[in-house]
Amino acid sequence: MTAPLHEAHPTGAGRALPNTQQGMRRRNLARVMHTVSAEGPLSRAAVASRIGLTRAAVSTLVDELIRSGLLEELGPERPGRVGRPGSALAVSGRGPAGIGAEIGVDHLAVCAVDLRGEVRSRAIRHGANRGRAPEPVVAELHQLVRRVVAEAESEGLWPAGLAVAVPGLVARDARTVVRAPNLDWRDTDLADLLPTDFSLTVGNEADFGALAELWLGHGTPRDFLHVSAEIGIGAAVVVDGGLLRGTRGFAGELGHVPVQPDGPECPCGGRGCLEQYAGEEAVLRAAGLEPGEDRVGLLAGRAADGDEAVRRALRDAGTAFGIALTGAVNLLDPESVVLGGALAGLAPWLLPSLEAELDRRTAGPACPVSVSRLGPEGPLLGAAHSVVRAVLDDPVAVAERA
């Protein structure tokens, strides 16, 4: 008897365990997993004091988790304190693994992450995907997935799910890509194209990047705005440790926030959207460069070389970002703003004007802006970790499948 869990989306709080004794137990199992996962090797007594249960209760919970292969007993702790030393518990390095995949404009990537959060296998394939039909692209991705899964299995892992990051809008069913302008895909159901034994969920690349920042970033708060950009400009709103997705799943469209109401027309129907000033295409044009292969790298390289036109273009883009973010910060009052994805690499030239504009326009202490250290790896890692989190959130569900 398995209740449907995470019905909506693994990148969101899909927690809907029933309020029964069994639900309570499942929540407590999840709390043990989360505690051990977050705070390293811990004794049963330490876990008990952290989650507010008795040692006896934690003992039975841990027993069940060990039997399921989700926790491991590392042996006695080396004691520095008086008293009998505890037996260290750690999340298992075998058992379920999260498979993350990314469909980028210029590459495909897949990786497997174990419950400890370590990447155990990865595969990448470079090559432009823009304008290619979904079927061959997904077929290639499928190959990579099989390779990564095989390698993970050879290390004693088994896939608990696959999460795919795509550069576009994803419907709330977490299966279909509604619109991916960089790939020229529309209404593509990836679940049809990518048959697997395990669960498949599709999510926006920027959203997964934000989750990676939330889960893997150092000192990242639970309320922040994560801005990333490839061609479009996407933002992810993280509220209380969860992603804000919006009614249709379209939240975070920072790129179409009006910056100059009388500015140039935008394909979205508006005028003067942020994308018209800070989008990749706009910046390249302002810098007098031709769109080529590695556009972000090109910009960063030229800027580092001291190309004044490029620097000015990035400065102006930063100013436009500052204006749009002023609106977002006023509306959401986040604890910080994080620049991730491709923007992280351009931060040195964007940040000064961006922060100046934001500071100038907001009363009181300004909202701090930081740069993601995950960089382009973010979305892939976020996707894989979203599966891992789903396991931690409901350990029995996967234990039953093992």
Which range of residues in 73-81, 301-309, 328-336, 360-368 is near DNA by CB under 7 A? 73-81
The least distance separating DNA from the CB of residue 140, rounded to whole angstroms, comes to 44
What CA–CA distance (Å, rounded) separates 322 from 329?
Answer: 10
CA distances from 279 to 158, 275, 284, 292, 343 (A): 40, 4, 9, 15, 11
Where are the extended beta strands (E) located within 87-139? 87-91, 95-103, 107-114, 119-126
94 touches DNA (CB under 7 A) = no
What CA–CA distance (Å, rounded) separates 30 from 70?
Answer: 11
What CA–CA distance (Å, rounded) separates 198 from 162?
Answer: 7
The least distance separating DNA from the CB of residue 393, rounded to whole angstroms, comes to 16
24 touches DNA (CB under 7 A) = yes
Candidate list 8, 13, 53, 289; residue touching DNA; CB under 7 A? 53
The token duo for 161 is 């799910």
Choose among DNA, a copy of itself, none what residue 61 binds, the Cβ cut-off being 5 to 8 Å by kind. Answer: DNA
What CA–CA distance (Å, rounded) separates 159 from 364?
Answer: 49
61 touches DNA (CB under 7 A) = yes
Choose among a copy of itself, DNA, none what residue 271 binds, the Cβ cut-off being 5 to 8 Å by kind. Answer: a copy of itself
What CA–CA distance (Å, rounded) separates 91 from 342?
Answer: 33
The least distance separating a copy of itself from the CB of residue 83, rounded to whole angstroms, comes to 27
271 touches DNA (CB under 7 A) = no
Q: Would you give the binding string for DNA spanning residues 109-128, x where CB under 7 A is met?
A: --------------------
Taking the least distance from each CB to a copy of itself, the nearer of 112 and 337 is 337
What CA–CA distance (Å, rounded) separates 384 from 402?
Answer: 19
Candidate list 67, 74, 76, 265; residue touching DNA; CB under 7 A? 76
Which range of residues in 51-59, 155-163, 213-221, 339-347 is near DNA by CB under 7 A? 51-59
Which range of residues in 55-63, 110-118, 195-203, 255-263 is near DNA by CB under 7 A? 55-63
> Nearest 5°: phi and psi at 399?
-60, -35
Taking the least distance from each CB to DNA, the nearer of 51 and 356 is 51
Which range of residues in 58-66, 115-123, 142-150, 355-363 is near DNA by CB under 7 A? 58-66
The token duo for 66 is 């060990």
Candidate list 2, 4, 52, 293; residue touching DNA; CB under 7 A? 52
Taking the least distance from each CB to DNA, the nearer of 6 and 26 is 26
54 touches DNA (CB under 7 A) = yes
Q: What DSSP string describes 328-369?
A: HHHHH--SEEEE-THHHHHHHHHHHHHHHHHHHHSSSSPPPE
5 touches DNA (CB under 7 A) = no
395 touches DNA (CB under 7 A) = no
19 alpha-carbon distance from chain centroid: 29
Chain contacts with a copy of itself (rule: CB under 8 A): 18-21, 24, 27-28, 31, 52, 221, 223, 235, 237, 239, 244-261, 267-271, 323-324, 326-328, 330-335, 360-363
90 touches DNA (CB under 7 A) = no
What CA–CA distance (Å, rounded) separates 95 from 38?
Answer: 18
Q: Which of 209, 164, 204, 203 is nearest to 372 (CA)?
A: 209
Taking the least distance from each CB to DNA, the nearer of 50 and 175 is 50
Taking the least distance from each CB to DNA, the nearer of 74 and 150 is 74
182 touches DNA (CB under 7 A) = no
* DSSP-derived 3-state class of residue 161: strand
82 touches DNA (CB under 7 A) = yes
CA distances from 40 to 47, 51, 75, 249 (A): 11, 15, 14, 35
The least distance separating DNA from the CB of residue 69, rounded to whole angstroms, comes to 17
For residue 270, count CB atoms less than 10 angstroms from its CB and return exposed for 0-12, middle for 13-18, buried for 19 or more: middle
> Nearest 5°: phi and psi at 145?
-60, -45
What CA–CA distance (Å, rounded) separates 138 from 144?
Answer: 10
Helix (H) or strand (E) holding 163: strand 157-166
The least distance separating DNA from the CB of residue 71, rounded to whole angstroms, comes to 12
Q: Provide the binding-site residues for DNA, judged by CB under 7 A.
A: 20-22, 24-25, 28, 43-46, 52-57, 59-63, 76, 79, 81-87
